[in-house]
């Protein structure tokens, strides 16, 4: 064995290894064409091993660079450069290839030569392309343990947007902004609010409020509130239904608009502001001089035309107003309001043992029921015209309902 040795370099003829040993530690070794730093058994062309807290490779300078090339650096293809430029770190594929990031033996991300960034795909088709079995993007607020996050996902081709996916926040919503201003939101109850940030069916709103379990509200300042346009053939513009059964409609035929299956009604009250005991549908009502009054939170609404009503107690009453339809069950403040039908298709209450014929004109019988007025002249006492003698309902006192056209005016 021959040996050429200084305090820095030694060569062992037995295996032709070269050791660079500046401080007696065997820090660098060249063995069988591989270079090892921090190891005496390099396994690759270059093998760097450092202590737990020390960097393996340090490249320093005014603009240090580290270049990896598959052949040489004369061409750019297959050449990767890592450069420190001021406070920035630049990773650059100098050729036309992709930059790929892998772990556990599989590619996870890449940037292609067009600058498209792909996660879970090797062929990103847009600027950000996420492809995975779950197809999810999560936007997390604060600490992960707080579970405050929104999520975008794709399931069976459907785009799903989540706001507060873990339901951490009470009354969370989803907001849509344009030009740095909120234009629409969906609240925690599923209500869609356009031009509003909270739902109200009583305030003087400007915008639209679409609610699955509350009244839909539309408000516009000094302009048309709603436009209904049926394109093509004639037919219904609006259908009014209850439990999937059509009860009325507004239809168009040429230039004619028809209001079908309905009646004109208005709200009224009893003089004492309370409900009238025993009042049933179809009961004949009479007009009173006293005006109805609606007061809430100390504020009284303007009312110039809606007067109070009572059950008609005069036979042939010339002040007949119409027939009782129902109490207001939807308003928590005004539960004693009554809906009174005045003109159009309705039913009317006929007294027990009283017979009417189709075509009869009716007047008040003086006890809340109606009876034939005995002639075919429409008078101030005329309340309705019988359209069928079919009884739709019979009450406990023997009075019954028949279809009619109301004429009270």
Residue 238 dihedral angles phi and psi, to the nearest 5°: -140, 135
Residue 403 · residue 385 · CB < 8 Å: no
SS3 381: coil
- pLDDT at residue 264 greater than cutoff 80: yes
Predicted local confidence at residue 2, as pLDDT: 40
Structure tokens given for 301: 């609404």
- Contact assessment for residue 250 and residue 236, using Cβ atoms and an 8 Å cutoff: yes
Mean pLDDT is lowest, of 2-16, 26-40, 146-160, for 2-16
Residue 63 is predicted with a pLDDT of 63
Q: What is the mean pLDDT of residues 360-366?
A: 97
Give the residue from 329, 353, 344, 336 showing the smallest Cα distance to 383: 344
Q: Looking at 28-37, 200-209, 319-328, 365-374, which range is the least confident one? A: 28-37
**282: nearest Cα among 401, 389, 382:** 401
> If you average pLDDT over residues 160-164, what whole number do you get?
88
Q: Which residues pair with 99 in a beta bridge?
A: 111
pLDDT of 1 over the 50 cut: no
pLDDT tens column, 28-74:
666 566 666 666 676 665 665 666 666 656 666 666 666 666 655 55
Tell me the domains of the chain and their CATH numbers: 3-48 (no CATH), 174-219 (no CATH), 263-407 (2.40.300.10)
Whole-model pTM above 0.75? no
129: tokens are 């392309």
Q: What is the mean pLDDT of the chain?
A: 84
Which of 312, 316, 301 has the alpha carbon at shortest distance from 362? 316
Lowest mean pLDDT among 77-81, 358-362, 394-398: 77-81
Q: Distance between terminal CA atoms of the chain?
A: 129
Is the pLDDT confidence value at 389 over 90? yes
- Token pair listed for 167: 């339901």
Residue that wins the pLDDT comparison between 358 and 67: 358
Confidence of residue 385 (pLDDT cuts 50, 70, 90): very high
């Amino acid at each position: 064995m021959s040996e050429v040795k200084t305090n820095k370099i030694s060569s062992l003829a037995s295996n032709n290894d070269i050791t660079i040993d500046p401080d007696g530690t065997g820090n660098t070794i060249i063995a069988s064409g591989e270079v090892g730093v921090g190891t005496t058994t390099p396994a690759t062309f270059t093998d760097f091993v450092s202590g737990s807290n020390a960097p393996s490779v340090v490249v320093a300078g005014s603009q240090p660079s580290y270049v990896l090339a598959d052949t040489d650096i004369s061409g750019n293809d297959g050449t990767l450069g890592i450069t420190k430029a001021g406070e920035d770190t630049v990773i650059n594929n100098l050729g036309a290839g992709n930059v790929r990031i892998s772990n556990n033996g599989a590619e996870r991300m890449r940037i292609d030569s067009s600058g498209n960034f792909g996660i879970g795909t090797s062929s990103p088709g847009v600027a950000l392309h996420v492809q995975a079995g779950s197809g999810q993007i999560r936007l997390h607020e604060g600490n992960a343990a707080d579970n405050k996050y929104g999520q975008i996902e794709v399931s069976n081709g459907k785009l799903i947007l989540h706001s507060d996916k873990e339901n951490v926040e009470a009354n969370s919503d989803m907001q849509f902004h344009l030009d740095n201003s909120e234009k629409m939101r969906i609240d925690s109850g599923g209500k869609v609010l356009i031009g509003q940030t909270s739902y109200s069916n009583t305030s003087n709103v400007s915008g639209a409020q679409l609610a699955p379990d509350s009244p839909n509200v539309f408000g516009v300042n000094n302009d048309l509130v709603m436009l209904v346009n049926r394109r093509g053939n004639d037919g219904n513009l609006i259908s009014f239904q209850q439990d999937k059964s059509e009860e009325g409609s507004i239809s168009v035929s040429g230039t004619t608009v028809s209001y079908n299956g309905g009646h004109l009604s208005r709200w009224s009250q009893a003089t004492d502001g309370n409900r009238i005991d025993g009042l049933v549908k179809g009961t004949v009502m009479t007009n009173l001089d006293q005006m109805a009054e609606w007061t809430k939170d100390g504020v009284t609404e303007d009312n110039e035309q809606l007067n109070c009503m009572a059950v008609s107690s005069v036979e042939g009453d010339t002040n007949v107003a119409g027939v009782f339809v129902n109490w207001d069950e939807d308003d928590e403040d005004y539960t004693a309001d009554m809906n009174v039908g005045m003109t159009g298709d309705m039913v009317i209450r006929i007294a027990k043992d009283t017979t009417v014929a189709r075509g009869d004109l009716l007047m008040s019988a003086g006890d809340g029921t109606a009876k034939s007025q005995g002639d075919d002249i429409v008078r101030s006492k005329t309340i309705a015209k019988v359209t069928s003698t079919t009884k739709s309902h019979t009450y406990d006192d023997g009075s019954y309902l028949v279809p009619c056209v109301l004429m009270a005016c």
